[in-house]
Structure 1
Amino acid sequence: MSEPSWTDQIVGERMTVDQEFSTHIQDSQFSNQEWSLIMTATTFEIEQPDDPEQARMVANTDQVDQVIPELENIQSSMGAMGAEGGSQPSSSGGGIVDSIKGALGFSGTTDSGSDEAKLEAAEDLTQKYAAELQSHLESNGRWESVREAASPEE
């Protein structure tokens, strides 16, 4: 049986950092639901894991741009719930027809500049999360073992 990957080894630390990082999310433009979606599309890597002085954790956000349009749907459904007093999601707020229109490029509601700003904000926030996660690992004496586990085997 093989050793768990370094990402599997830090699940507990990630849960702790998630809780500590919640104030950053509250201060950001993203809701908790949107942040969860962004984090689903984000992977973490350790750059230069062989070099103890230069190694650092970074967020790989290559897939985040694919979820940016869905953030608009989350905002629409949250707005619809707020307009209805929080009862049930509205069927008119970003439904199937709107999703299909958006996928085909017929949605006039998505501004590419707005999407770029959201992507930039998401990338910035995920990099801050990666730095906080690394700092947490360092303060708990786990960084070296995680860094070594991320090193390519020779």
Structure 2
Amino acid sequence: MSDSSWTDRIVGDRMTVDQQFASQIDGSEFSNQQWSLIMTATEFEIENPGDPERARIVANTEQVDQIIPELDNIQAGMGGMGGAQGGSGGSGGSGSVVDSIKGALGLGGGSGDSHAEQLEAAERLTQRYADELQSHLESEGKWDAVREMAADEA
């Protein structure tokens, strides 16, 4: 077992959570392609793995800032629709069409503001995903074993 990490051990669980989380992506400001890129740049860690009461999965999004410009390229390639094509709600998702129109008209904040907003939205959504993943592991009775494995790796 020492040859694999806790993240390797939960690949199947991640696929299950990915499917369950799809509706939240549809309701967000990100397209599926953008979300895939965000997830590629996100690492998941277990904070306080040795403490069963305080341990939790957290999304490490330090690398996401580097891919934010590519999110714009993906959106531009999709005609600027972003995640708004499938949903009309979600946290912050309803503003994406308005933001696109404002941007096209030269109104609103500069690209720095947009990038900061995208980064914040990505951080919120990836942490929500991490919470869902931990909840899934708990409901499947796998959380303690995964947490202990992470503690051993630390």
After TM superposition, the runs of 4+ consecutive aligned structure 1 residues lying more than 4 A away are: none
The share of aligned pairs that are identical, in percent, is: 66
Letter in 2 for 1:117: E
Which range moves more in the overlay, 25-34 or 71-80?
Answer: 71-80
The residue aligned with 1:57 is 57
Change (3 A) 1:153 1:127: closer
Alpha carbons 2:5, 2:153 under 8 Å: kept? no
The residue aligned with 2:26 is 26
Whole-angstrom CA distance in 1 between matches of 2:25 and 2:68? 16
Give 1:4 deviation, angstroms.
1.1
The residue aligned with 1:85 is none
Give 1:59 deviation, angstroms.
0.3
State the aligned residue count: 126
Whole-angstrom CA distance in 2 between matches of 1:123 and 1:44? 12
RMSD over aligned CA atoms reads 1.8
Change (3 A) 1:9 1:153: closer
Whole-angstrom CA distance in 2 between matches of 1:79 and 1:71? 13
The residue aligned with 2:140 is 140
Alpha carbons 2:41, 2:64 under 8 Å: kept? yes
1:1-154 aligned within 5 A: 2-79=2-79, 111-152=111-152
Give 1:153 deviation, angstroms.
5.4
Whole-angstrom CA distance in 2 between matches of 1:113 and 1:64? 16
SS in 2 for 1:151: helix
Letter in 2 for 1:29: E
Letter in 1 for 2:145: S
- Stretches of structure 1 lacking an aligned partner (at least 5 in a row): 81-109
Deviation string 1:37-86 (CA, Å, 9 cap, x unpaired) is 00000000000000000000000000000000000000111118xxxxxx
Letter in 2 for 1:143: W
- Stretches of structure 2 lacking an aligned partner (at least 5 in a row): 81-109
TM, length-normalised to structure 1: 0.78
Deviation string 1:101-150 (CA, Å, 9 cap, x unpaired) is xxxxxxxxx71000000000000000000000000000000000000000
Letter in 1 for 2:54: Q
Q: Which has the larger radius of gyration?
A: 1
Letter in 2 for 1:48: N
Whole-angstrom CA distance in 1 between matches of 2:136 and 2:47? 17
